[in-house]
Structure 1
Amino acid sequence: MPSGVVAAKLRVGTAPACLVLNAVRVGGPAARDTITANTGLSAATVNRQITALADAGLIDERPDLVDGGGVGRPKIPLTLDRDQYCVAGMHVGARRTALVIADLGGRTLYSHAIRTQEFSGADPDEAVARLCEQLAELAARFSGRRVLWAGAALGGAVDADTGVVDHPILGWKQLPLGQRLHDALGVPVSVAEHVQAMAAAEVLLGGQMVSDDTVLFFYARETVGMALIIAGEVFQPGRGAGSVAGLPVAPGPLDVAPIAPLQSVIGTAALKAAAARLGVGDDAGVLADARARVLGDAVAVLRDVLDPDSVIVAGDAFAAHPQGLAPVQAAFDAASTTAWPLEITPTRYGVRVPETAPVAVALSAVYADPLGVVAGA
């Protein structure tokens, strides 16, 4: 029976039960022959997995959705059972912390945002305890559902095996967040670096089957980070996530130095300082244009090094320009030296991407071993 902290594998599992559950999740309502075609499994294997998943309360047969105008024996569609189970999640951000409860498809049932500053000055152990207690109280409101798993996502260093975290901005060092969350909720917990978790949401919570492409995911708000999605799995380096915070950029009016670290010129504090120095408003066009150019240049550098099939960007820094992503795209196009063109894609979750991150971490455990997780619960 799973317990304590379990390292998250940020992908859909490859066992037959995982493939069938994913096909129902992505394509539902889906008939058995459609699931067979989409998974590549035999009809007999699909039928066995459907029986097991239905007995576990993970999927439902829906005769009420049968097309009455069809010819021959009606095909009963299958859908996720979104009513029996849920997962709990916590995303600790530099400015805002999100506590969320979601169903098995990743749909938010309830979320609660807290200003991180409310506890950033508190003793770190006390701050973690308060957050875990608040998430447990939120989960208790859903007593009609069984919480299967909990996920946490945050910046800084994360030991996925132990759930021990460092968060330099908040002054957290070697805090056992995973174990504290397990003690508060009484369910298994997975903890992941937040940009990797956001990337996992694109893989696990979207309405698409797993792709073989390589995707560069780039996040910029108060902090910056990147993750790679390779053939449907978020790459998690053995020694923890790397950093693009120190990537050298030419900041222009955002800084007095000709070259500066990327993270130092992207956030709100940098914009306010530049605005004060130039005698303009925080939302001045010259600053918005400069930030868009810096971001486009930075993403172009990583694109040229990694050569991904696609690029997804997320975070307020990308969304803040009045013209949207167009200025970032223009800077990216001008800076990239790779021959073939590539269009930058915004995250499908918009401002909700931090909220989806811990949900993806929690659901990655369910999607990796659905029958095992339910049996353990």
Structure 2
Amino acid sequence: MTGSGVVAARLRVGSAPASLVLNAIRVGGPSVREEITERAGLSAATVNRQITALCGAGLVDERPDLVEGRGVGRPRIPLTLDRDRFCVAGIHIGARRTALVIADLGGRTLYSHAVRTLELCDEGAAVAVERLCARLAELAGRFSGRRLLWAGAALGGAVDAETGVVDHPILRWRGEPLGRRLHETLGVPVSVSEHVQAMAAAELLLGGEVVPQRRGAALFFYARETVGMAMIIEDEVHQPIRGAGSIAALPVDPGPLDTAAIAPLQSVIGTAALKAAAARLGVNDDAGILADARARVLGEAVAVMRDVINPDSVIVAGAAFSAHPRGLAPIQAAFDAASTTPWPLEITPTRFGVHVPESAPVAVALAAVYADPLAVTAGITAP
């Protein structure tokens, strides 16, 4: 951890023995030691040592009240994640809406609160960051019976993961020390991530698989007021050394969404673009002609990236994908028509639905906890 209290986000499945055992208990529900040993892929002796340490740290509980029956011999006592002792704090700063969230050790939201981002920005970026940090601290203070372990932040724009310094072009933020200010306000380590990578991390880490599966490569595509994509490769979200790339300028055929023959993707999928197109055409914002056009644009854009990357799966998130009256069906149809890769691929929606923005910073915070749970609960930041 740097002197600023910022720890670079590492968005991956942990591989240390304590991490593997905690994950086996976390996603498997009440489990006896033999089941945990099988899921974690470790020796019984190693699992027993880790369980002793995790119980001592308050991360795991033995639950004799869950023993089934009274068979012959010593009863096998199930173990569960202790969801009552710790929590993490998260903040997702969107172009229009900011989500503040407190979650338990399993990623379950304990409380969330949304504010309109622009209402906090009228006095400049520094004041906005100060207000957001104070609001998150106030929210965390409502859970004083729990120990706050970590804080995660996710937002669009450029993020320096090592320092927590961020740029947000839409909000006109430049060089804002978001990570440091969160650490100073909350008093815990902080990790900051680009928001689409953080959403992909939620799919990877909070999805609930009993055993993390080798999943090949997955393309995660987000579209709301902004657009972005991330890659999950095996058990890790790809984080380029120089920061996330951008698909905002991906050229698309906008059809009725714009008067230009070719337009940048981000300029034609948001609320403002739909309102402008509706006014020009003399129709309502939710008119079928506009919904169909946006579905086609999105399907074709995802197809382009699919053909370039050739992932094993495609996950989509954001209101632009979910707003069509027929759901993903017209987007899938446009995707199928545009993709030149010779085998079919079904687009799948995020498992978090409309709550994907609030899941993103929670995943950023818990990635650090899951990577080295014993070090984090001891108040030590792993290198």
Normalising by structure 1, we get a TM-score of: 0.98
Q: Equivalent residues in 2 for 1:334-373 (5 A)? A: 334-373=337-376
Which amino acid is 1:351 matched to?
V
Q: What does residue 57 of structure 1 align with?
A: 58
Q: Equivalent residues in 2 for 1:26-65 (5 A)? A: 26-65=27-66
Deviations 1:139-175 (A, max 9, x none): 1111100000000000000000000000001110000
SS at match of 1:225: strand
Alpha-carbon offset, residue 121 of structure 1: 2.3
The answer on whether the counterparts of 1:62 and 1:79 sit within 8 Å (CA) in structure 2 is yes
Alpha-carbon offset, residue 120 of structure 1: 2.5
1:243 aligns with 2:246: yes
SS at match of 1:258: coil
Alpha-carbon offset, residue 39 of structure 1: 1.4
Which amino acid is 2:213 matched to?
S
SS at match of 2:378: helix
Q: What does residue 85 of structure 2 align with?
A: 84
Q: What does residue 305 of structure 1 align with?
A: 308
Q: What does residue 170 of structure 1 align with?
A: 171
Q: What does residue 123 of structure 2 align with?
A: 122
Q: Equivalent residues in 2 for 1:74-113 (5 A)? A: 74-113=75-114
- Relative to structure 1, the CA distance from residue 303 to residue 69 in structure 2 (aligned partners, 3 Å threshold; closer, same or farther) is farther
The answer on whether the counterparts of 1:192 and 1:361 sit within 8 Å (CA) in structure 2 is yes
Which amino acid is 2:89 matched to?
A
Q: What does residue 283 of structure 2 align with?
A: 280
Aligned-pair identity in percent equals 78
Which amino acid is 2:310 matched to?
D
Which amino acid is 1:157 matched to?
A
The answer on whether the counterparts of 1:2 and 1:188 sit within 8 Å (CA) in structure 2 is no
CA distance in 2, matches of 1:294, 1:120: 32
CA distance in 2, matches of 1:26, 1:133: 33
Q: What does residue 210 of structure 1 align with?
A: 212
Alpha-carbon offset, residue 212 of structure 1: 1.8
1:317 aligns with 2:323: no
Q: How many residues are treated as equivalent by the alignment?
A: 377
Which amino acid is 1:285 matched to?
G
Alpha-carbon offset, residue 69 of structure 1: 6.2
Q: What does residue 189 of structure 1 align with?
A: 190
The answer on whether the counterparts of 2:121 and 2:127 sit within 8 Å (CA) in structure 1 is no
CA distance in 2, matches of 1:2, 1:212: 33
CA distance in 2, matches of 1:246, 1:291: 16
The answer on whether the counterparts of 1:54 and 1:60 sit within 8 Å (CA) in structure 2 is yes
Return 5+ residue gaps in structure 1 as ranges: none
Alpha-carbon offset, residue 71 of structure 1: 6.2
- Relative to structure 1, the CA distance from residue 2 to residue 123 in structure 2 (aligned partners, 3 Å threshold; closer, same or farther) is closer
CA distance in 1, matches of 2:273, 2:240: 30
The answer on whether the counterparts of 1:28 and 1:77 sit within 8 Å (CA) in structure 2 is no
Normalising by structure 2, we get a TM-score of: 0.97
CA distance in 2, matches of 1:127, 1:294: 34
Q: What does residue 225 of structure 1 align with?
A: 228
SS at match of 2:307: helix
The answer on whether the counterparts of 2:158 and 2:244 sit within 8 Å (CA) in structure 1 is yes
SS at match of 2:298: helix
SS at match of 2:331: helix
SS at match of 2:102: strand
SS at match of 1:227: strand
Q: What does residue 145 of structure 1 align with?
A: 146
SS at match of 1:125: helix
Q: Which moved more, 1:116-125 or 1:267-276?
A: 116-125
Q: Which moved more, 1:215-224 or 1:201-210?
A: 201-210
Return 5+ residue gaps in structure 2 as ranges: none
